[in-house]
Amino acid sequence: MQIFQQYIGGAFSDGASQFDSLDPATGAPWAKMAEASVADVNAAVDAAEAAFFAPEWADMTATARGKLLSRLADLVAEHAPRLAEIETRDTGKIIRETSAQIAYVAEYFRYFAGLADKIEGAHLPIDKPDMEVWLCREPVGVIAAVVPWNSQLFLSAVKIGPALAAGCTVVLKASEEAPAPMLEFAKIFDLAGFPKGVLNVITGGPDAGAALTAHPKVAHVAFTGGPETARHIVRNSAENLASTSLELGGKSPFIVFEDADIDSAVNAQVSGIFAASGQSCVAGSRLLVQASIKDEFLARLKEKAEAVVIGAPDDMATEVGPLCTLRQRSNAEDLIAHSVAAGAKLITGGKAIARDGFYFPPTILDCSDAPDAPSLSNEFFGPVLSVVTFKDEAEAIRLANDTEFGLASGVFTQNLTRAHRMIRGIRSGIVWVNTYRAVSPIAPFGGHGLSGHGREGGLQAVLDYTKIKTVWLRTSDDPIPDPFVMR
């Protein structure tokens, strides 16, 4: 079996213990991962703090930081095939998706490299004649970045990239589920030439996560995952008063009006819910379709879903691979059963595929007559679509906003003024119109409600890893008057 080590202070080690990682395509162990103890977490944070204050990093110019990030981008692009192979093996995500996504991850590092020396301050027109006052931005300090297993190289890039561009240092904790890609990424980072300790990569379960997010030397916690874990992180941050940015997934509405390009909308819905086997925080898992086209739309969607090629994730012909864990598959089966009991109609799929591994087919549930079906409110993190109908715009907006989440949404219509009304009415951090799942390093990404707060991507992402310093400079040569002498 392959062995993956943690990365602390510029050195690789096995950690306090090891655990097996399962291949989702077979259900069998394929590699051993280093598991961080609390002592390992403390060592990683100490290394990050030492690097933050060391002159090799603290005195490095912003332009030089950008050049290092550009070097990292080049290395990620160079090693993308290896990273894709490992991510596919450890997570079950199909190779054609990991290959494309990791190649694009390099562009994120390249974008943030370009922003490193674009972080500007300001001069204030202060109301005192003998003072000059200006603002400068400084890095906040040590960042705790906590990422899940799905799309982890992308979710790490949108944390590591802006944090290092701002001059921070990072301890990244990979998920205990399928962490191999991040531990492999540490090897690539080591080649880039950053000072030791600027990035540290560990993995582990709740104990490691709690020790990291509550650590007194951590200034900011950047987390992607579920709301329940986020609540623990927010409670932990009360110990160190660290700021937080939280990206927590969603239950995103995919809205199709009767005037939409049906072929385009069907293809986008297939991509929006079945790509990555539905294991995406922006999965369009709630289809809201206008009642007048429901039958036609579902017929086309069912045909597409049943034609999807399910197979080994390392096969370029595969379109949907296994889920990452057995727990996810069991959760999907339970939620579907409860939804059917609540009145939902199973259109296709719904049962685990009888083969080795954690395979689950594209599934469609018609919940038009089952408004209380749990599939409408719970995030499956699997290829399961719940369908409801609406009559008009007002009902579409009401249904779209009938969720505690608020990350993404999609609107399909040829009516431009309607599109603008929907954009204005939907409460979500992202609205895609006549497209879905488009991302770019230039565009901020994030939500509100139970989808969290903060934004990843764009200039704002870099600014979020800085703090403002206000500088006062007295310009008068006259002595400061004695404050206790009455004049």
pLDDT of residue 487: 65
Domains belonging to the chain, first-starting first, are: 2-247+457-471 (3.40.605.10), 253-433 (3.40.309.10)
pLDDT of residue 342: 96
What tokens were used for 213? 């997010």
To the nearest whole percent, how much of the chain has pLDDT over 90?
Answer: 95
Given a cut of 90, whether residue 16 has pLDDT beyond it is no
Model confidence pLDDT, tens digit, residues 257-268 = 999 999 999 999
- CB 306 within 8 Å of CB 271: no
pLDDT of residue 297: 98
Roughly what angle, to the nearest 10 degrees, separates helices 80-91 and 180-191? Answer: 160
Dihedral angle of Cα 204, 70, 430, 406, to the nearest 10 degrees: 20
Q: What are phi and psi of 33, to 5 degrees?
A: -115, 140
Catalytic residue among 35, 184, 247, 379: 247
- The CA distance from 347 to 301, in Å, is 10
Given a cut of 90, whether residue 486 has pLDDT beyond it is no
Q: What is the mean pLDDT of residues 236-258?
A: 95
**Global pTM value:** 0.95
Model confidence pLDDT, tens digit, residues 180-201 = 999 999 999 999 999 999 999 9
239 belongs to the catalytic site: no
Token pair 């690789």 is found at 12
